[in-house]
């Protein structure tokens, strides 16, 4: 993903827990209703079909693919694009594109619509230098006029909702100016991450910036940044007034976050955190989906990072790191997860003894 491992967990908010917030479905279009209003964010090398399906099963109201190069999609066609692999069970699903040429993005949006996506999204938030140096991602925030041209072209080319995911600005540029141009050009909604391009993933997301943008436009706004549990989702909803929340880093190794937020929005009790054994069962489901999609060899390589995320911050993480190079089969994955669960169980017993002492 291009993010240091130690920054993959969003910072926790230490303030008081806000009151529960009521939110109905977020409607982007007739065939794109986000219910519950919580979305899995597009993440490079993460939001592939197995992870998207898992998050939908855990309660996400909508999922989004990792970003796809619009120019390559148009040149090579959908059959050559391994990232444009949509499954019936994951709908509603959005496809995120990146690019800067209006005509190319419009042509790519047509392909996305033909492939059955419920929405097409433009990446205007990626802060990575290799992306922004070519004028893509967050670099688009410097030119609201070009943003207007892009959304006018894309919205005129398809009947599915066209949305954009942006940051709070490119240094001093205004996210509100960009959002207004998006709305004028036909955007059906937008997502805003409450950090500027320069802030990267440091500090806390600025929710006041999101609130100001919500008040400046009439299209649905999805709030993004530091959502990791039902408490942070409540905070995002209550401070910003957004129509839905998007979960990014908070879902890594933690797809249960969607069950938490969905239950809270429905007024139901918050589910207990999974036991090590329950975690192992869900990991087994994740492994099954991965092998089904990519085969055992590739799955064992790709799943290594997920195993670390599932057990991040526990003694099991150290055990897994020692075992990573030997994880080359389904049997090896199962053995590694079993060792991790045993370590977590030992920690639970040790903690209980210490508390009773």
The catalytic residues are: 126
Strand partners, 162: 120
Q: Name the residue among 161, 218, 227 with its Cα closest to residue 194.
A: 227
Burial class of residue 99, CB neighbours in 10 A (0-12, 13-18, 19+): buried
Strand partners, 26: 34
Q: What is the DSSP letter of 275?
A: P
Unique residue bearing structure tokens 């991040």: 312
Unique residue bearing structure tokens 């240091």: 4
Residue 313: left (phi > 0), alpha (psi -120 to 50), or beta? left
Look at the alpha carbons of 163, 164, 168, 174 in this order and tell me if their dihedral is positive or negative.
negative
Cis peptide before 92 (omega within 30 of 0): yes
Query: How remote is the C-alpha of 304 from its chain's centroid?
Result: 19
User: Angle at Cα 206 formed by Cα 203 and Cα 211, nearest 5°?
Assistant: 165
Phi, psi of 166 (to 5 degrees): -130, 170
Q: Can you spell out the DSSP letters for 292-345?
A: HHH-HHHHHHHHHHHHHHHTTTSHHHHHHHHHGGG--SHHHHHHHHHHHHHHHH
Distance CA 246, CA 229 (A): 11
3-state secondary structure of 185: coil
Q: Name the residue among 183, 184, 206, 182 with its Cα closest to residue 194.
A: 206
Are the CB atoms for 271 and 263 separated by under 8 Å?
yes
What tokens were used for 109? 């949006």
């Amino acid at each position: 993903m291009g993010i240091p491992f130690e920054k993959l967990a969003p910072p926790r908010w230490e303030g008081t827990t806000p009151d529960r917030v009521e939110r109905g479905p977020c409607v982007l279009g007739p065939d794109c209703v986000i219910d519950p209003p919580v979305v899995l964010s597009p993440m490079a090398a993460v939001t592939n079909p197995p992870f998207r399906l898992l998050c939908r099963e855990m309660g996400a109201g909508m999922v989004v693919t990792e970003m796809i190069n619009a120019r390559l999609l148009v040149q090579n066609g959908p059959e050559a694009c391994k990232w444009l692999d949509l499954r019936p069970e994951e709908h509603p699903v959005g496809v995120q594109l990146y690019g800067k040429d209006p005509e190319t993005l419009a042509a790519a949006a047509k392909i996305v619509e033909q492939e059955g996506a419920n929405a097409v999204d433009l990446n205007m938030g990626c802060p990575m230098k290799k992306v922004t140096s070519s004028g893509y991602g967050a670099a688009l925030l410097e030119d609201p006029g070009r943003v207007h041209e892009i959304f006018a072209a894309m919205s005129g080319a398809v009947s599915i909702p066209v949305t954009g995911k942006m940051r709070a600005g490119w240094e001093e540029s205004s996210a509100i100016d960009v959002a207004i141009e998006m709305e004028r050009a036909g955007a059906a909604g937008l997502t805003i991450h409450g950090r500027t391009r320069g802030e990267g993933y440091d500090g806390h997301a600025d929710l006041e910036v999101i609130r100001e943008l919500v008040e400046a436009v009439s299209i649905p706004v999805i709030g993004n940044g530091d959502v990791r549990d039902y408490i942070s989702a409540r905070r995002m909803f209550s401070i910003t007034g957004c129509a839905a929340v998007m979960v990014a880093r908070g879902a890594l190794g933690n797809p249960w976050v969607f069950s938490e937020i969905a239950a809270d929005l429905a007024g139901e009790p918050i589910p207990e955190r999974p036991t090590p054994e329950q975690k192992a069962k869900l990991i087994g489901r994740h492994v099954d989906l991965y092998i089904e999609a990519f085969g055992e060899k590739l799955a064992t390589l790709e799943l290594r990072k997920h195993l670390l995320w599932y057990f991040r911050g526990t003694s099991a993480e150290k055990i897994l790191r020692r075992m990573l190079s030997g994880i080359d089969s389904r049997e090896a994955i199962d053995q590694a997860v079993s060792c991790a669960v045993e370590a977590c169980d030992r920690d639970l017993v040790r903690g209980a003894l210490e508390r009773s002492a």
